[in-house]
Amino acid sequence: MPSEAKSETNENVEVKLKRDLGLLEITMIGLGPTLGSTIFLLVGFGLQITGTGLVLVFILNFVVIIFTAMAYSELSSAFPDTGGGYLWVKEGLPQPFGFLAGWMSWFGHCIVTSFYVLGFGKGLLWILTARGMIPADFDGDLLVKALAVAVCFVFIWINYKGTKETGRSGIYITVVLLTIIITFIVAGALYIFNGLGEGNVGDVVSNPTPGGIGAVVVAMGFTFIIFEGFEIISQCGEECKNPLKNVPRATWLCIIISTLIFIMVAIVCIGVVDLVPMADGHFNVVNSGVSGGAPILGEDVVARAAGVSMPGDFGVILIGVGVILGTLAAVNSTLFSSSRVSFAMGRDGALPRSFGVLSKKTHTPHIAIFMSGIIIIAMTIFLPIEEIAASTAIMFLLLFMFVNLSAITLRYKRPDIQRHYMMPLFPYVPIIGVITLMILTFAVWIDYPLAVIIALVWIEIGVLAYYLYGGKDKIEELRPADIHEAKKSKTAKEKKYRILVPVVDERQKTLVWFASLVARVEDGELRLLKVIETPRVVPVDSLTYKELSPHIKVVDKLKKIPDRWHIRADGEVLVSHMAADAILDTITEEYVNLLILGWEGEAKEDRIFGVNVDKLVQNAECDVVVFKSLGMKKDLKRILVVSTPEWHASYATGYAVLLAKQDYASVTIFSACQNEEEKAKEDEYAERLCQICHTHEVEFEKEIEVVKSVEDAIVAKAQDYDLVVFGAAAEWDSKHFTFGNLQDRLARRIEKPILMVRKIRPKDDFKQGQE
């Protein structure tokens, strides 16, 4: 058994950050906001500004965003750190531009979240109105704002508690949204094809600028927030697998898909509703089937178009459901991003340090979340939805300008950084990007002066905060110097026998002691892994050395146990959003042969051993040992091996022999069966196990009993032994069991220490017991 080891911090304990999100997940994170509230609410405002010219607006916006997308792709392929545009501008431009980029990004994500939560209120209002549950004289705007504030409080609480919204759940919501949008497009197209539409789709080509070029430019600036999703994608660099390639790819996918969908929805709306020119150059959106041809509010256009193109109230309800689902997909992402930017600035010292502190209770950036929530709620209450959309557009137009300028300066300042994507025609591409974005910002200024005032006031507050608070003296690199990510490249040719032991705390000395015995016999490499699981709302690079230090000390202390046998153990602390997935990825990447897991003997009703242990045993592509060592004696005297031909009993016997030789214990090969025919078969197999013990000079005995209940007999027999060892059944790979139906029940009932074995590698690789 292991002895106590002195606790000293060892510099050889490696700290790594685990990336969890793939290309599909981060693409869906970027598309979520676009396919939700934005598409259902923004199209109507665009039609009011420029009429049938909206399709041209989206095409030209796509051309304009290409220049900025190239800058984002190059920068994200070179600097895939959490913080996105804020960090790039901070690195590329002189202060206070870096500070202002973060300041505007924070406000931009806050105010766009206000837009999304108002969309939630609108969606619910549409549904209630369609069902006749809202009186005609009721103040709908008041209800919308009340619902928006309520849902905002809910998401602030969710982010504070650190509840995970996995990429997979985001995918499901986005798929549902795509289905709703496609349903609307198909229904609207059929409605127009049957001659029921009141608009003229042909005007998209014959009269693409009915309100003039000026209206087109204004609408371009106003609707530019449809590309806000790829700024969110840039925030995911530290959580993305292969970010140098996947972040640029996701950026382009998000832009292309968003543009195509917006164009199709705009064409359908143009065909369904009628656009009546007004004296100021804008348009009234009307339809005789809606309120007798009265003008439709901009945010209601898509819902009303769906209402007349689909039977009954189905269309309005469908779009209402879409907006509500879109809010669920978008608000968590944008509130997450807003708090993340202010959190990063707090860690830098650009904002008060309290912004960069994690809650001791929930391990989330609570101050950053609550301050972002205050801004969101204030915008929601005091601003109309149209001004919120315009303010959001201005913030992101300015931020994108800064990013383009940073792409130019960083090419010269940091030529040493490898860029997996390099924009062509440099520096003309980012220069064109800056010029076009300036034009769009000026256009929005003309039509929405209040939005510009809001933006300027926020920027002025930021400048004052920068100079008066002292952020100019405190901006440093975000990543702590003590944290680094080791990048290793291993091939199968370099492969040795590798043992991985995930550890939780210092009580697992027995687990590490056992792993050391196996490593000595196998002449293998031993790695101790401590996984720190952080909530999805916390970047994996957010923990300071002070926060990591207790975990490093745990690994360092356990590493000293193998020294008794001159076994070298590597130690690693891995920060991840999903502990089990991080361990499974490590098994694959490090070519692990054996996974040794500790288990305290507790399990929930819906799990055999626990969430992580069950998942690891069922999915690990290597041998697995689960060791319940709680209450194990310092010196083992009697070991019980449960024998059954269908179980992995021969491998379990190998480990029992290893332990028996260490403590000079005896081994009992025990088998229980229900009839004499089974007894003969069990006896033959038990003899093979006894031969293993005999070969390695371990004292043994064989016992075979005919019983009514095999399970009860094994449980009763186990009470007289210091350790019970058994292998998995052939059914272990069923998701209903971990080691097998009977094995799982035995693990729950046996109160003694237990060692369970599940094999996957070829038998001839097994060398245990050779000493």
Please write the tens of the pLDDT for every residue from 364-411. 788 888 999 999 999 999 988 888 888 888 888 988 899 999 999 999
pLDDT-derived band of residue 492, with 50, 70 and 90 as boundaries? very low
How far is Cα 287 from Cα 293, in angstroms, rounded to an integer?
A: 5
Q: What average pLDDT does range 705-709 have in this prediction?
A: 91
How far is Cα 258 from Cα 266, in angstroms, rounded to an integer?
A: 12
pLDDT exceeds 90 at position 693: yes
Q: What proportion of the chain, given as a percentage, has pLDDT over 70? A: 83
pLDDT exceeds 60 at position 267: yes
Lowest mean pLDDT among 180-194, 271-285, 620-634, 661-675: 271-285
Asked if residue 530 lies in contact with residue 18, where contact means CB atoms within 8 angstroms, the answer is no
pLDDT exceeds 50 at position 473: no
Residue in the block written with tokens 């991003």: 337
Write down the pLDDT at residue 733. Answer: 54
Write down the pLDDT at residue 188. Answer: 93
Q: Running DSSP on this structure, what letter comes out for residue 297? A: P
pLDDT exceeds 70 at position 10: no
pLDDT exceeds 80 at position 37: no
Asked if residue 573 lies in contact with residue 13, where contact means CB atoms within 8 angstroms, the answer is yes
* Angle at alpha carbon of residue 160, lines to 158 and 165, rounded to 5°: 45
Write down the pLDDT at residue 17. Answer: 55
How many CB atoms are closer than 10 A to CB 492? 6
Q: What average pLDDT does range 260-271 have in this prediction?
A: 94
Q: What average pLDDT does range 496-501 have in this prediction?
A: 91
**Beta pairing partners, 17:** 575
Q: Which of 321, 130, 326 is nearest to 226 (CA)?
A: 326
Q: What average pLDDT does range 29-46 have in this prediction?
A: 81
Lowest mean pLDDT among 44-53, 68-77, 326-335: 326-335
pLDDT exceeds 50 at position 769: no
Q: Which of 657, 602, 627, 640 is nearest to 723 (CA)?
A: 640
Which structure tokens are listed for 607?
Answer: 């799990």
Inter-CA distances, 746 with 642, 749, 754, Å: 11, 5, 10
Q: What average pLDDT does range 553-563 have in this prediction?
A: 88
Write down the pLDDT at residue 291. Answer: 53
Which residue did the predictor score with more confidence, 457 or 466? 457
558's enclosing H/E stretch is helix 545-559
Write down the pLDDT at residue 293. Answer: 61
Q: What is the pLDDT of residues 725-741, one digit of tens each?
A: 998 886 555 556 677 78
Mean pLDDT rounded to a whole number for the chain = 81
Evaluated on CA atoms 315, 321, 322, 323, the torsion sign reads positive
Which structure tokens are listed for 637?
Answer: 């005297």
All residues at 6 or more sequence positions from 52 whose CB lies less than 8 Å from its CB, including other chains: 199, 200, 203, 204, 207, 208, 210, 270, 275
Phi-psi region of 726 (alpha: psi -120 to 50; beta: other; left: phi over 0): beta
Asked if residue 149 lies in contact with residue 331, where contact means CB atoms within 8 angstroms, the answer is no
Write down the pLDDT at residue 81. Answer: 61
Range with the largest mean pLDDT of 94-98, 229-233, 265-269, 630-634: 265-269
Range 271-300 burial, b when 16+ CB lie within 10 A, else e: bbbbbeeeeebbbbbbbebbeeeeebbbbb
pLDDT-derived band of residue 74, with 50, 70 and 90 as boundaries? confident
pLDDT exceeds 70 at position 59: yes
Half-sphere exposure of 758 (CA within 13 A, CB side): 29
All residues at 6 or more sequence positions from 697 whose CB lies less than 8 Å from its CB, including other chains: 661
Write down the pLDDT at residue 486. Answer: 35
Which residue did the predictor score with more confidence, 545 or 459? 459
Q: Rounded to the nearest 10 degrees, how much is the dihedral formed by the CA atoms of 252, 254, 255, 260?
A: 120
Write down the pLDDT at residue 136. Answer: 66
Write down the pLDDT at residue 177. Answer: 87
Write down the pLDDT at residue 592. Answer: 92
pLDDT-derived band of residue 762, with 50, 70 and 90 as boundaries? very low
Which residue did the predictor score with more confidence, 362 or 475? 362
Which residue did the predictor score with more confidence, 122 or 164? 122
Write down the pLDDT at residue 714. Answer: 94
Which residue did the predictor score with more confidence, 109 or 260? 260
Which residue did the predictor score with more confidence, 470 or 626? 626
Q: What is the pLDDT of residues 293-322, one digit of tens each?
A: 677 878 888 888 898 899 888 999 999 999
500's enclosing H/E stretch is strand 498-502
Q: Write out the E strands in 618-750.
A: 623-628, 638-642, 666-673, 700-706, 723-727
Q: What average pLDDT does range 663-692 have in this prediction?
A: 90
Write down the pLDDT at residue 483. Answer: 30
pLDDT exceeds 70 at position 190: yes
pLDDT-derived band of residue 163, with 50, 70 and 90 as boundaries? low
Range 412-446 burial, b when 16+ CB lie within 10 A, else e: eeeeeeebbbebeeeeebbbbbbebbeebbebbbe
pTM metric for this prediction: 0.65
Write down the pLDDT at residue 639. Answer: 96
Write down the pLDDT at residue 468. Answer: 74
Write down the pLDDT at residue 690. Answer: 94
pLDDT-derived band of residue 646, with 50, 70 and 90 as boundaries? low
Q: What average pLDDT does range 508-527 have in this prediction?
A: 91
Asked if residue 764 lies in contact with residue 691, where contact means CB atoms within 8 angstroms, the answer is no
Q: Rounded to the nearest 10 degrees, how much is the dihedral formed by the CA atoms of 180, 338, 368, 325?
A: 0
pLDDT-derived band of residue 437, with 50, 70 and 90 as boundaries? very high
pLDDT exceeds 90 at position 547: no
526's enclosing H/E stretch is strand 525-533
How far is Cα 516 from Cα 662, in angstroms, rounded to an integer?
A: 12
Write down the pLDDT at residue 277. Answer: 85
Write down the pLDDT at residue 493. Answer: 37
